[in-house]
Chain A
């Protein structure tokens, strides 16, 4: 049984901290990062748009793919260091939300952070990718705030019934 921690740029420290606090001592911790293929595809596409330029070795999409692999490794390294206990690092490439759901198969717990518009509390505090993961994850979830959780005063008043 494993605790999977979804590492995403910007919001990952909160997830690592939550895993450190809430994962059982004997649980295997898996740090998961998914590189979306859409970013490199955009660069590939822009190069294809430069019709006739030749030089496929100059395709910026390929360079972006290499850079993405290196950056994911650095990110997972930083996360492992913050975690400070033995863990497995997993890197996947593809459709981010689907890869996360697939990687969580058989896990005991999946830790993820809200990544939407956190200035307005409510459904929009989950972005499209995390919304998909919350709806389709095959295991229990621990959903954390990237910063301190909002206090009770931020809760809207009850609806009025006239």
Chain B
């Protein structure tokens, strides 16, 4: 330990060897592109971290980022990553308990053979699941269930599956746990869990309401086609234990933030309760739990954070600083949200939020939340950001048929500007009523 500290005091001598700023910036940007490309292409099926971790090591080794700043970034991201791992495990265990199957059965029963009602149920389920169990749960676990439900009713699946993909982004505004971008912003904003949720409740509702209106119009043909009511069958057992645990976890978020404890502990406790039960009943294994926590992904986030920090510190902060509006008036919030949405679509929302947070945290929580509106709603235009999407298309194309983005993009062109505008106005109103303090 002491030796480590001694080494850290020697750091100033490294400064002499520091690269000049423009070279360092070029290197950092190149590495960021490489990291993103590696995450999409996954050469030889290797985990994303295999490109990202050496890239992070390289920015530190070349002096593009000082070890102190890298350490600072790691300390900032550590708790966020722990929180994320707990939520990922919690969602997987809820699936093991049959929560998502029960959700599908509920949607089929209450939709009663009417596609428009099914769309309403999908909006309710996807919004709630995204908010509480994160967007990963909606994309990975809910989407196939929604498809199966639509197929069982003989309804055309397209509107319902598209609703899952859109809501996994739009409905991830509500809670810090809903999206990794939120967890990052939550740590930077200094808000409590409860105040974050209170400020984002109105924007969340506004954005979802706009999406719903757009979907009803855009998919009118498919929704008019009709469906059949499900044939009786047994109602599946409600996974009461999982539901109660999730409810207690939510209550835990409120309580921990009220007494000033990191709400990550509540998520960890919820995941632990379900994990112990599943292990005792031999429904899961330690290996499956570790798999659900997705350790390479956590390493990827940490490494990505370090590379982005190098990009920001070596000149992007001054370049973008001019574009970032000051204050939290309606115009400033709007400018921030649009800037964030554009960045999310050009690169990807994860690096976009990492870049924008240090530049906006000084303007207060309102500015940070406006950035979140942009990075969370924006991806409905290009899935993963245009760079990543282009690469992804090439890979899928190489394996299989061409991926058509026409309809997805057209839907996004209607939904994204409208829901972003509604959410910004709602955030502005929330800030005026509740206050960002």
CB-defined contacts of B220 to chain A, threshold 8 Å: 117
Known A8-B225, A48-B384; judge A42-B162 contact (CB<8 A). yes
A36 to B156, CA, bound (A): 10
Would B136 and A44 count as touching, CB distance under 8 A? no
Would A45 and B165 count as touching, CB distance under 8 A? yes
Known A36-B158, A46-B165, A94-B401; judge A54-B383 contact (CB<8 A). no
Q: Which of B36, B161, B404 has the most CB of A within 10 A?
A: B161
Would B294 and A10 count as touching, CB distance under 8 A? no
Which among A58-66, A104-112, A152-160 touches the partner chain? A58-66
Which among A23-31, A67-75, A82-90 touches the partner chain? A67-75
Decide if B403 is an interface residue (CB 8 Å cutoff). Answer: yes
Decide if A102 is an interface residue (CB 8 Å cutoff). Answer: no
A46 to B389, CA, bound (A): 10
CB-defined contacts of A51 to chain B, threshold 8 Å: 36, 39-40, 48, 348, 350, 384-385, 388
Decide if B75 is an interface residue (CB 8 Å cutoff). Answer: no
B45's nearest neighbour on chain A, judged by CB, is A56
A72's nearest neighbour on chain B, judged by CB, is B151
A93's nearest neighbour on chain B, judged by CB, is B401
Chain B 126-164 per-residue mask, 1 if CB under 8 angstroms from chain A, else 0: 000000000110011101100110011011111001101
Decide if A21 is an interface residue (CB 8 Å cutoff). Answer: no
Known A64-B161, A115-B221; judge A9-B143 contact (CB<8 A). no
B407's nearest neighbour on chain A, judged by CB, is A38
Chain A 120-147 per-residue mask, 1 if CB under 8 angstroms from chain B, else 0: 0000000110000000000000000010
A77 to B195, CA, bound (A): 54
Chain B 212-233 per-residue mask, 1 if CB under 8 angstroms from chain A, else 0: 0000000011101111000000
CB-defined contacts of B148 to chain A, threshold 8 Å: 67, 71
| Cβ 8 A contact of A48, one of B224, B294, B297, B383 | B383
A58's nearest neighbour on chain B, judged by CB, is B140
B416 to chain A, nearest CB (A): 14
CB-defined contacts of B158 to chain A, threshold 8 Å: 36, 38-39, 42
Decide if B296 is an interface residue (CB 8 Å cutoff). Answer: yes
Please list the residues of chain A having a beta carbon within 8 angstroms of any beta carbon in chain B: 8-11, 36-39, 41-56, 58, 60, 63-64, 67-68, 70-71, 74-75, 94-95, 115-119, 127-128, 146
